[in-house]
Chain A
Amino acid sequence: MARAVAARPGRRAPLLVGAGLAALLAWSWQGTGVDLPGLLGGEGLRQIATYVARLFPPDLSARAWRDAASGAVETFAISLIGSLLAVGLGLPLSLAATRTLLYHGILFEGRRLGPGARTARVTLHAAGKALLNLLRTIPEIVWALIFVFVVGLGPFPGVLALGVHTGGVLGKLFGEVLEDVDPAPLEALQATGAGRLAILVYGVLPQALPQFVSYALYRWEVNVRAAAVLGFVGAGGLGQRIHVAISLFQEHELLTLILAIYVSVTLVDALSASLRARLV
Chain B
Amino acid sequence: MYELTGIRKVFAAGSVALEDVSLRVGPGEHVAFIGPSGAGKTTLFRILNLTLRPTAGALVFEGQDVSELSDAELRRVRTRIGTIYQQQNLVGRLRVVHNVLAGHLGRWSAAAALASLVRPRDVAGAGRALEQVGMPEKLWARTDELSGGQQQRVAIARVLVQDPDVILADEPVSAVDPSLAVSIVTLLRDLSHASRKTLLMNLHSVDLALGYFPRIVGVRDGRVRFDLSPDKVGPELLAELYAGHRDEEQELEQLRDGKNPFGAACRPLPGFRK
Residues of A within 8 A of B (CB): 106, 109-112, 182, 184-185, 187-195, 197-199, 201-203, 206-207, 209-210
Q: Are B102 and A202 in contact (CB under 8 A)?
A: yes
Q: Does B17 contact A (CB under 8 A)?
A: no
Segment among B21-29, B47-55, B173-181, B210-218 that sits at the interface with chain A: B47-55
Q: Is the CB of B106 within 8 A of A201?
A: no
Query: Cβ of B83 and Cβ of A198 under 8 Å apart?
Result: no
Q: How far is the CA of A188 from the CA of B82 in the complex (A)?
A: 9
Name the one of B50, B52, B76, B90 contacting A188, with C-beta atoms under 8 angstroms.
B90
- Contacting pair A191 B113 (CB below 8 A): no
Residue from B50, B71, B102, B158 with most neighbouring chain A CB atoms (10 Å): B102
Partner of A193, one of B93, B105, B155: B105
- Per-residue contact bits, chain B 76-98, to A (CB 8 Å; 1 contact, 0 not): 11110111010011110110001
| Contact across chains for B51 and A110 when beta carbons are under 8 A apart | yes
Give the residue of B89, B102, B107 whose beta carbon is less than 8 angstroms from that of A184: B89
CA distance A146 to B85 in the complex (A): 54
Task: Decide if A190 touches B89 in the complex (CB within 8 Å).
Answer: no
Q: Which of A110, A195, A198, A201 has a CB less than 8 Å from the CB of B50?
A: A110
| Nearest CB of chain A from residue B187's CB, rounded to whole Å | 19
Majority-rule SS of A interface residues: helix
29 contacts between A and B (CB under 8 A): A110-B52, A110-B74, A111-B71, A187-B51, A187-B85, A188-B102, A188-B155, A190-B51, A191-B49, A191-B81, A191-B82, A192-B79, A192-B82, A192-B158, A193-B77, A193-B79, A193-B106, A194-B75, A194-B102, A195-B75, A197-B114, A199-B105, A202-B91, A202-B102, A202-B117, A203-B91, A206-B94, A207-B91, A207-B93
Within 8 A of A (CB), among B98-117: 98, 102-103, 105-108, 110, 113-114, 117
Question: What 19 new A-B contacts, CB under 8 Å, besides A195-B110, A197-B110, A206-B93?
Answer: A109-B52, A110-B52, A111-B74, A187-B51, A187-B85, A187-B89, A188-B85, A189-B102, A191-B49, A191-B81, A192-B78, A192-B102, A193-B78, A193-B107, A194-B105, A194-B106, A195-B75, A195-B105, A201-B113
In the complex, chain B residues 245-270 whose Cβ is within 8 Å of any chain A Cβ = none
Interface size on B, residues (CB 8 A): 37
- Whether B113 contacts A197 by the Cβ 8 Å rule is yes
Bound-state CA distance A241–B182 (Å) is 74
A190 to B77, CA, bound (A): 12
Interface centre among B85, B88, B91 (most CB of A within 10 A): B91
**Are B108's CB and A185's CB within 8 A?**
no
Report the separation of the CA atoms of residues A185 and B158 in the bound assembly, to the nearest whole angstrom. 12
Given contacts A110-B50, A197-B110, A198-B108, contact A190 B78 (CB under 8 A): yes
CA distance A195 to B105 in the complex (A): 8
Known A-B contacts A109-B52, A109-B53, A110-B74; the reply to A182 vs B102 at CB < 8 A is: no
